[in-house]
């Protein structure tokens, strides 16, 4: 008998589509940049300012965006921010110069800044606790897939229609997703017309609007618990941004590849992250189900992922062989991405009532790394004239991340002073 797809899995598919689309929308400008620069008569410095404009509002809106998602609910929040990033993407295709292009990218950062923390809140409401890691792995695999397919997809659109039209087409696709989300999703799973009692029994109890008013964000306690996760996310993000921004240039410059070959090698390396993202969440959840030890399930994957990435980045310092380095960097990226789903699952473990706010706090580390890592990497290359030097910084931060991981304990859920009822499915855990 064919197994029926649950409503929760359909919601998860919608979130995968969002992660896929938003990553294309944030990196498509890299492919269009040469055409924009030529048509708008931009200098390299001006183009650099446009490329970096996304990261600042994105980083600073993580906590506030997650808090809004907790308070207002994922349905309205993702509909609203989806409209913002969709319009910003379309407007990018209509820019006339540097300032309008910067404003469009800032708008994209404003829209996408709240997206992932709010999506985390949706997952906390729609999925059982033992599938948190799996869900985060699946959606972030979709984001890495979006990152990998963006260059050829956008290039195809540019060749067929033009660089301006490529932004308009992607913006319209984003608007379609927003409409489908608003139509299909419900904050309270019980209110979905297709929800079954069997599926609903496995989910955490939904907190009503009146109950939400009684729940105040314990900022001090929450910050204390999430800060180590934020630091590890910063260490993870620092190395990830190296891959996302400098990998093609590294292969092009250090190994003398032409632009097509370096892009193909880079795409192959980045695809290993799709596998790592999925496996990290699946393995972590499986360990949790087998042992009922959340600390072991989350910590072990972080330590293995950061350690593996550290080990396989070491050859970049000593070896100059393209095939060997491509394999080594693929393995390093695979291990690095084992951490991603786990990092996003931990805020859900620690603070289910504030999973949007908590995940926003956590992902601020990634946002700050996005502002600093590409600039520092380029600066170290310019000063030293050596591509190996900036990789040392990534290796050092990976080791620091391993050490700080030992302070993370997701098994201890955040205690709150609230009269919200205890979750009847798990008497030891307050309801979400």
- Between 172 and 280, where is the model more confident? 172
Helices marked H in 259-387: 259-291, 294-313, 315-318, 322-350, 355-384
* Range picked from 145-154, 203-212, 252-261, 343-352 for highest mean pLDDT: 343-352
pLDDT digits (tens, 9 = 90+) for 49-75: 787 788 889 888 888 888 888 888 899
Is pLDDT at 84 greater than 50 in this prediction? yes
- What the chain holds in terms of domains, given with CATH numbers, is 7-189 (1.20.1250.20), 218-411 (1.20.1250.20)
Between vectors from CA 328 to CA 326 and to CA 329, what angle results, nearest 5°? 65
Compute the distance between CA of residue 106 and CA of residue 391 in angstroms, rounded to an integer: 29
Q: What are the C-alpha distances in Å from 363 to residues 158, 337, 392?
A: 32, 15, 23
Q: How many CA atoms lie within 13 A of 339 on its CB side?
A: 30
Q: What are the strands, taking DSSP E only, across 172-271? A: none
Is pLDDT at 235 greater than 80 in this prediction? yes
Question: Whole-model pTM?
Answer: 0.78
pLDDT digits (tens, 9 = 90+) for 161-217: 999 999 999 999 999 999 999 999 998 888 888 888 888 877 776 665 655 555 677
Q: Which residues contact 312 (CB under 8 A, 6 or more apart)?
A: 328, 329, 331, 332, 335
């Amino acid at each position: 008998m064919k197994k029926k797809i649950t409503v929760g899995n359909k919601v998860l598919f919608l979130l995968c589509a969002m992660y896929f689309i938003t990553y294309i929308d944030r990196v498509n400008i890299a492919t269009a940049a040469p055409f924009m620069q030529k048509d708008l008569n931009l200098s390299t410095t001006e183009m650099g300012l446009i490329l970096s404009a996304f990261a600042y509002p994105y980083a600073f809106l993580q906590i506030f965006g997650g808090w809004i998602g907790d308070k207002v609910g994922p349905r309205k929040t993702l509909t609203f921010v989806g409209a913002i990033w969709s319009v910003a993407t379309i407007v990018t295709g209509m820019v006339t110069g540097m300032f309008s292009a910067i404003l469009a990218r800032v708008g994209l950062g404003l829209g996408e800044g709240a997206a992932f923390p709010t999506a985390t809140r949706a997952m906390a409401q729609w999925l059982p606790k033992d599938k948190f890691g799996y869900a985060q792995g699946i959606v972030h695999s979709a984001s890495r897939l979006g990152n990998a397919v963006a260059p050829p997809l956008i290039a195809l659109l540019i060749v067929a229609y033009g660089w301006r039209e490529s932004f308009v087409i992607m913006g319209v696709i984003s608007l379609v997703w927003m409409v489908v989300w608003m139509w299909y999703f419900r904050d309270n799973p019980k209110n979905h017309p297709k929800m079954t009692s069997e599926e609903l029994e496995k989910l955490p109890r939904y907190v009503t609007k009146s109950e939400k008013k009684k729940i105040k964000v314990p900022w001090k306690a929450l910050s204390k618990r999430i800060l180590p996760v934020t630091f590890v996310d910063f260490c993870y993000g620092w190395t990830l941004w190296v891959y996302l921004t400098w990998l093609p240039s590294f292969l092009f410059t250090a190994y003398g590849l032409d632009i097509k070959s370096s892009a193909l090698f880079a795409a192959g390396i980045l695809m290993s992250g799709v596998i790592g993202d999925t496996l990290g969440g699946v393995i972590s959840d499986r360990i949790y189900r087998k042992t009922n030890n959340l600390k072991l399930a989350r910590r072990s994957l972080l330590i293995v992922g950061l350690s593996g990435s550290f080990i396989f980045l070491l050859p970049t310092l000593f070896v100059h062989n393209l095939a060997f380095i491509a394999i080594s960097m693929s393995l390093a990226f695979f291990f690095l991405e084992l951490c991603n789903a786990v990092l996003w699952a931990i805020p859900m473990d620690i603070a289910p009532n504030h999973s949007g706010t908590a995940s926003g706090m956590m992902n601020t580390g990634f946002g700050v790394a996005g502002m600093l890592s590409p600039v520092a990497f380029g600066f170290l290359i310019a000063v030293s004239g050596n591509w190996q030097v900036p990789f040392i910084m990534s290796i050092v931060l990976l080791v620091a991340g391993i050490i700080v991981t030992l302070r993370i304990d997701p098994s201890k859920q955040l205690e709150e002073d609230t009269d919200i009822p205890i979750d009847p499915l798990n008497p030891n855990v307050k309801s979400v």
